């Protein structure tokens, strides 16, 4: 189900509006889940989850496969664990998309879920209207069909 003209949201009164999506993060091995918001981050190569959420999902943080990654604050260690993402419509809170079991990085000193290119944005067509504080996402198949209808052969 495409998410069209979703308004940017604020996490607090003092915050600036951002492209946020309600998500549910699920550990497919335990069934434990955590509902939160994720920020669409076109500058992030990977999706990332705050390290503190790992234990809430039943993951042993440090047992995940590790890698050193570069961030805006320098290098840090990330611990990858298999998760499932449920993406909800920010207006109706109806389930829109499910991203099945995929390794996602859990990172210390991170305070919000980052929805980056690999494992998230690469699966969708995204448009962002910053002046209007709106964004839309759809599955690529629907985006291709829309383009194809506009081409005269």
Per-position pLDDT tens, the chain of length 153: 899 999 999 999 999 999 999 999 999 999 999 999 999 999 999 999 999 999 999 999 999 899 998 877 788 899 999 999 999 999 999 999 999 999 999 999 899 999 999 999 999 999 999 999 999 999 876 544 444 454 443
Q: Pseudo-torsion of CA 85, 86, 90, 92, nearest 10°?
A: 180
Give dist(CA 24, CA 9) in Å, integer: 17
* Residue whose structure tokens are 């434990």: 32
Domain made up of 3-150: CATH architecture: Beta Barrel (2.40)
Residue 76, Cβ density class (10 Å: 0-12 exposed, 13-18 middle, ≥19 buried): middle
């Amino acid at each position: 189900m495409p998410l069209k003209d979703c308004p940017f949201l604020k996490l607090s009164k003092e915050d600036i509006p951002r492209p946020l999506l309600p998500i549910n993060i699920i550990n497919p091995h335990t069934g434990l889940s955590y509902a939160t918001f994720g920020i669409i981050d076109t500058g992030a190569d990977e999706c990332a989850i705050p390290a503190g959420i790992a234990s809430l999902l039943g993951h042993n943080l440090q047992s995940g496969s590790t890698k050193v990654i570069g961030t805006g604050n320098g290098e840090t260690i990330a611990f990858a664990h298999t998760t499932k993402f449920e993406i909800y419509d920010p207006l109706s809170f109806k389930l829109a998309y499910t991203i099945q079991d995929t390794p996602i990085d859990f990172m210390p000193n991170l305070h919000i879920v980052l929805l980056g290119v690999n494992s998230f944005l690469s699966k969708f067509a995204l448009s962002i209207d910053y002046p209007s504080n709106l964004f839309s996402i759809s599955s690529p198949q629907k985006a291709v069909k829309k383009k194809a209808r506009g081409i005269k052969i």
